[in-house]
Structures are given as C-alpha cells and as structure tokens.
Amino acid sequence: MWYNANMLDFLERTFLRDVKKSHIAALDISTGGITALYAIKHETAAWRRSSQGYEILKIFKLPIDLIGAEVDKSSRASKILNDAILKIMKDIHAFNQHLDLAIINFSDPFFSEIKLEKIFRRKNPHEKIVFREADLILRSLGKDAVGISGLAPIGQTVLGYKINGYVVAEPEGYRGKSLEVSAAFTFINTALKEAVESSKDKFFPKAKIRYMSDSGIVRILLKQNADFSSGLIFALDGESTAVYWVAEENINHIALVSFGTKTVERRVAARLKVKNEEAESLISRFSEGVLENDFRQKVSVFLSEAIKELLENILAEFKKKQVLNSIPKKIAITGRAKSLVLFADFLKKEWKGVFGFEAEVGNIGIDTKRANEIFHPPSFIAHENGILMASLLGA
C-alpha cells in the first residue's frame, strides 16, 4: 500500500508520538558560573522534516565567584564548584524528574588535554586493515595518556589516521605497511569528576553522562565553519581566555591567560565606580547601541583599556612560547558573553597597538540558519548560548 507524506505524519503523531524522544540536560561549567539547559530531543519524522531537533524547555544560570581561588589546587575552589554542581542538578530535578542524558562541558582550566600518536608496523601489509587494528592502537594510546596525566579520563577524540604516511579519513579496507593513529585525550581532576557523578546519581541515577571540553567545542565550531582553516581562536570565559592555534587540520591549545569577560567588567566597574552587575548591564547596553551618551564615551574608553590589557597578557604568553614571528592575522572569537560581537570590535581596534600589525577579527559559532533548523524556540539562539548549542550538536 502507498502512503503519502501527510498520512505518514498523521500515523506518526497518532501512534509514535513518544517514540525516539530523549530528555537531555546540558551543563556548561566555566570560570564565570554554570549555565545549563533542559531539552527534549525529537527524532520523529515530523521533526526531521522541519529539522527542529531540540526543544529547549528551560535555561538555568548559576554565577560562581572563583576570585582568589586556584581552581586546580584550592580546596575552597573545589567546594564552590561542588556546591554549584549539586545546586544546578537540584534545580534541574525540580523542573523535571525525567532525564536520559546529562552532557557536561568544562571550560579551561578545568580540563587538560594530551595529544598522542603511535605508528604500528603491520606484519601482513597485503591484508586489508580491519577496525580492530585501529581500535587496539587507540586503546594503547589511551593507557599511555592516563599514565602521563594522573587525572580522571573523560573523553577521547581521534584526530587522524595515516597509512604508509598518507592521511586517510578511515583506515578500514586499506592495505599498507604502517598504520598511524593520532588522538586527543581529555582529563579532569578526579574529585571534580566524582562531584559531577555523585550529583547526577543523587537526582538522576538512571541517566547516562557524557563529557565534553572547550577544546572539543572548538573542533565542533570549526566543522561548522569550514572557511576558517587557519588562524587563532580566542575562547573567552568569565575569568580566563584560552587561545587555540589552528593550522589546517591541526588545533593546538597554545595559551591560557587569567583574564576574561568578568575581568573586563570589573575593570570597567572600577573605573566608573559602580557595582560589577551595573558594569555588565552598561556593557550590554553599549553593545546594543542603547546606552546613554553620558556613559557611552566613558565605557568605550574603559573597554579599550581592558581589552588592551587582555591582549598584553596574550602577547606575554606568545613571547614565552617564542611564536611572535609566525602569529596568524586571522582571529575568531567564541565564548559565553552576550557581547561577543562587541569584544571582537574592540579586539580588532586594539590589536595593532599591541602586536604591531592589522588583524582580521570576527566571531565563530553555529550558523544562524542551521541553528534555526535545529533549535526551538528561536529566542535560545544567542551568542551566550553558543557553547551549549555546540555541546548538543557534539553529543
């Protein structure tokens, strides 16, 4: 019997309404706070045709103050994070007690990444490579990475394969004398992982958990932006900025400076003699073009000073790494701030004064058209939710 599309949609809505529906919570743990969402992932034909894959039901925001606390050493920082993770899980549970998957993303410096590669000399080069060969190499690399880090592993990403020194997308089916696998392994502090999993188990014991990091987010964004093949990516966080050096297929985390969007807000607040919350509001209104003229010029000057200080911190890191002679002239910005476009404008303005040459500066994120096809409602699609959108796409 032949069915048309309308009849199939009717049958699905009638009989398969609750099939292929997942309840997901995504948490983004950063130096400025924890942002989370609760969403339903729809995989029915009706949703596939409209491409509205994720229905965002609720956003949760919990600021945290880590000023003066060393995030990798301080027991105070650990307690702040542990309490915040427990609180956000409790809030999600109060909203909805059903959860199938928790996606947890960590910003720098809450994670570390180790890249390793290994070459396997094959005894029978004329036989076709099978999946098990590459998988055994990857497992061996994973054991090496765990031994190096001494931390809790949370994920791995295959960066590439080579057969006889030539890059291939997938090794299965090829023949060759050597098989090379390169991969990135992500780790976090063991106590932090235990805090996340105990909080999840307390409220959602049956839910699965999947970890991500900002390095992984950058890789997802690069896949979404194929035109950005080389340059620098600045991942602006609340209290830090991570710098990634992109060269064709290689993505290297080259620097982390203790200066982020919250730092900028404090600098502006101090100069204007207002509270940090008011400075955040002023910067947001400045970005939207609705700030009163009395404040506009002052905020512009103070923002320039703060962004210049951020760039000077990055310059100092580049000097340590001895890469000043090869700095790319293309820069893309991502992060968690509402005013990412504004930060890009000021970075471009101050760049030449610090580095001595002009740079092309812009933002990198999920394409708006594609985001509108995947996420609902449209109000969710905003710069400050870019990390959460990317984490859903990568899950």
pLDDT in tens, 110-159: 999 999 999 999 999 999 999 999 999 999 999 999 888 788 999 999 99
Q: Would 370 be classed as within a structural domain? A: no
User: How high is the pLDDT of residue 169?
Assistant: 92
**Predicted confidence (pLDDT) per residue in 31-78, tens digit:** 999 999 999 998 765 544 444 589 999 999 999 888 765 555 557 788
Say if 233 falls within a structural domain. yes
Give a yes or no: residue 371 inside a domain: no
**Looking at residues 340-369, what average pLDDT do you find?**
90
Distance CA 32, CA 4 (A): 51
Instruction: Indicate the range of 285-289, 300-304, 307-311 predicted with least confidence.
Output: 285-289
* pLDDT interval class at 103 (50, 70, 90): very high
239 and 348 share one domain: yes
Phi, psi (5° rounding) for residue 345? -60, -45
Return the top range by mean pLDDT from 90-99, 182-191, 233-242.
90-99
Percent of the chain with pLDDT over 70: 91
The CATH number linked to 62 is: 3.30.420.40
| Cis amide leading into 109 (omega within 30) | yes
* % of the chain with per-residue pLDDT over 90: 60
Q: Do 352 and 308 lie in a common domain? A: yes
Residues 234 and 348 placed together within one structural domain of the fold: yes
Would you say residue 4 has pLDDT above 60?
no
Q: What is the pLDDT of residue 69?
A: 58
Q: What is the pLDDT of residue 54?
A: 92
Answer yes or no: do 178 and 79 share one domain: no
Residues 210 and 64 in one domain: yes
Q: What is the pLDDT of residues 315-325, one digit of tens each?
A: 999 999 888 88
Residue 52: what pLDDT? 52
State the pLDDT at residue 325.
85
Rounded mean pLDDT, 146-173: 92
Predicted TM-score of the model (pTM): 0.87
pLDDT digits (tens, 9 = 90+) for 231-283: 999 999 999 999 999 987 788 999 999 999 899 889 989 998 999 889 888 88
Task: Please check whether residues 78 and 183 belong to one and the same domain.
Answer: no
SS3 168: strand
* In-domain check, residue 372: no
On average, the pLDDT of the chain sits at: 87
Q: What is the pLDDT of residue 47?
A: 44
Residue 369 lies in a domain: no
DSSP notation for 258-276: S--HHHHHHHHHHHHT--H
Interhelix angle for 293-321 vs 261-272, to 10°?
A: 130
Statement to judge: residues 94 and 131 lie in one domain: no
Over residues 288-307, the mean pLDDT reads: 87
Q: Would the pLDDT of 188 be above 50? A: yes
User: Is 125 found in the same domain as 82?
Assistant: no
Confidence band, pLDDT 50/70/90 cuts, at residue 342: confident
Does the pLDDT value for residue 390 go beyond 60?
yes
Domain that holds residue 167: 112-187
Q: What is the CATH number of the domain that holds 121?
A: 3.30.1490.110
Within a domain: 37: yes
**CA gap 207, 358 in Å, rounded:** 49
Distance, C-alpha 293 to centroid of its chain: 36
CA 135 – CA 133 distance, rounded (Å): 5
pLDDT of residue 199: 97
Instruction: Please tell me the predicted confidence (pLDDT) of residue 187.
Output: 94
CA–CA separation, 295 vs 153, rounded Å? Answer: 48
Angle at 291 between CA 287 and CA 296, to 5 degrees: 90
Compute the average pLDDT of residues 82-104: 97
pLDDT digits (tens, 9 = 90+) for 200-239: 999 999 999 999 999 999 999 998 888 888 999 999 999 9
Number of independent structural domains in the chain: 3
